[in-house]
Every structure is written in C-alpha cells, then in structure tokens.
Amino acid sequence: MASLDDLKKRIASVKSTQKITKAMKMVAAAKLKRAQDSAEKGRPYSEKMNNIILNLSEGISDKENAPKLLSGTGKDQIHLCVVMTSDRGLCGGFNSNIIKKAKSYFSRLSSEGKELKIITVGSKGNDQLKRLFGNQIIENISFKNSKNANFFDAEKVSKIIIERFEKEEFDICTIFFNQFKNVITQIPQAQQIIPLKTDIDDKEKSEDNYEFEPDEDEILTNLLPKNISTQIFKAMLENSASEQGARMSAMDNATRNAGEMVDKLTIEYNRSRQAAITKELIEIISGAESL
C-alpha cells in the first residue's frame, strides 16, 4: 500500500490535471460558439451555390460535352480521397472517427481493385494514416497558422485538387469530414465532389426557364471550381465546429473522471491515515498495559 505522502502527491497531481481539463473545456466551449456561428452563417452560400448548379445542370444542352468536373472522366479507376482532420489532438474520437470511416472506404476500394490516392488536410490525419497508407499519400496540407477556417485556405485546397484533376491524376474525388450535429454527436461523412453528384428532388425541381448570360456551358465551367472551394470550405467549417464540440465533451468527461479519481484517492488517504493512528494507539495502549 502506498504511503500517505505518495497518496497526497497523487491527489495533488490529479487535481492539477483536472484544472487543466476544465480550462480546456471552457476554451473549447467558447470556440465552439464561434465555430458554430460561422458554420451556420456559411450555410446560405453553399445552399444557394448548390441550387444554382442544380438549375444549371438541368438546363445544360449538350450533356456529352459537359465540363469534366460535372460529368467525370467516364472512368472510376483512380480515386482521390481528401481526408480532413484537425491539427491538434485531445478532442476525443474526432480524428479517429474520420480515419475509421476513411479506412473502411479505402479497404473497399482496394478490394474492388481500384487505385487509391490520398491527400490529408490537417496533421493528425497524416500522422494516423502514414503508417498504413504512406505510399498513397500524395500531399499533406496543414493550416496550423490560420486561427479559424477561412475561405482562402479552402481555395488553396481546391486549387490543388483541380490542378491534379486537370492533369488526369484521378477520376473520382471524395472528401472525408465530420458533420456537426450537436456537441456530443458528430457524424463522419464521405462526400463525392468530383464528378459532382446531382441528386435532384422532384419537388425542388424548378419549372421556370432561366436565361443564361453567357451560355450555360461557360457559366458551368466557371462555377464548378468555385463550387468545389465552397464544398471544401463547408467541410472545413463543419469540421472546426465538430472539433471544438468533440474536445468540449472529451474534456468534460476527463474533468468528471478526474473528480471521481480524487474522491477515491481521498477515501484511500483517509483510511490509511486512520489505520496509522489506530496502529499507533494500539502500540501505546499495549505498551502501557505491559508496564
């Protein structure tokens, strides 16, 4: 059994850990508020963008010659996966959930005999993937220096993707990120961005005919790269909100666990203190009796 001094030291150290996790929780809560706000504010843009693209792809006259970003290369041999994770740890299952989702997708691809290329965004994802998929990772992008998700960073990522697409390095591009549902629930998502999937609900189908200036094809050619930036930006916003949410609940749990541990250790400390006193008393009494 540990001595009284050791127990005292352990209690003190657990208490100071608890202070740290509590502080981290509060920081995450404050950041979460901001990240959530910007995720919500960013939604109208990406929704509108989506609507316009849907309307455009409806109206496009010549489906055969549609831009490749919309229709794809016609093959599905080489897959590019963009795995978006955070740059910092201590956020519970946030990163490993994305990685898990991505890994199961990867193994499905390889069982189908497809070729795989990976771009990681955020250093944590790179750390976890480089052991198993080191050869497939073609690029690692990290925005450690940017405080918040911003559109400029998203444009950088999409530029890299589009450049590689134009060099015909891949046929299909999928992004992996966590969708923010609420503080405790983040859902890992796989979203295909090239070629664009256009699932059109019949009820949302607009009947009116648009006038296009210049023509549909030219607008689409300009719009599709922008849409990719928008989708990536949306993923980044969702991701940063999810990261803070995950960190907050992880730190909340850690604080609670530390509290429980302090209670347990305090009981143990008191018990052994009492045992020591009892032992001393017995020694004194039996010493006195023997006189």
Whether 91 is a known active-site residue: answer: yes
If one asks whether residue 61 binds another protein (CB under 8 A), the answer comes out as no
Q: Which has the closest alpha carbon to 148: 22, 231, 25, 37?
A: 37
Dihedral sign, CA of 32, 36, 39, 41?
Answer: negative
Number of amino acids touching another protein (CB under 8 A): 31
Distance CA 243, CA 221 (A): 34
Binding mask 139-158 for another protein (x = CB under 8 A): -----------xx--xx---
Interacting residue with another protein among 214, 286, 288, 290 (CB under 8 A): 214
Tokens 């898990």 appear where? 100
Region binding another protein by CB under 8 A among candidate stretches 27-35, 82-90, 197-205, 211-219: 211-219
If one asks whether residue 11 binds another protein (CB under 8 A), the answer comes out as no
Q: Which is nearer to another protein, 91 or 236 (CB)?
A: 236
If one asks whether residue 219 binds another protein (CB under 8 A), the answer comes out as yes
CB of 148 to another protein, least distance (A): 9
If one asks whether residue 213 binds another protein (CB under 8 A), the answer comes out as yes
Interacting residue with another protein among 7, 35, 56, 119 (CB under 8 A): 56
3-class secondary structure for 7-56? HHHHHHHHHHHHHHHHHHHHHHHHHHHHHHHHHHHHHHHHHHHHHHHHHH
If one asks whether residue 206 binds another protein (CB under 8 A), the answer comes out as yes
Interacting residue with another protein among 27, 29, 49, 138 (CB under 8 A): 49
Beta-carbon contacts of residue 171 (< 8 Å; ≥ 6 apart): 72, 73, 75, 76, 77, 78, 79
Catalytic residue among 69, 91, 99, 173: 91
Q: Which has the closest alpha carbon to 238: 187, 291, 163?
A: 187
Tokens 């993707």 appear where? 161
Q: Which is nearer to another protein, 42 or 125 (CB)?
A: 42
If one asks whether residue 44 binds another protein (CB under 8 A), the answer comes out as yes
Angle between the N-to-C axes of helices 4-59 and 216-289, in degrees from 0 to 180, rounded to the nearest 10: 170
Q: Strand, coil or helix: what is 137?
A: strand
If one asks whether residue 62 binds another protein (CB under 8 A), the answer comes out as no
Where on the chain is the footprint of another protein (CB under 8 A)? 38, 41-42, 44-46, 48-49, 51-52, 55-56, 150-151, 154-155, 206, 208-214, 219, 222-223, 226, 229-230, 233
Which residues are catalytically annotated? 91
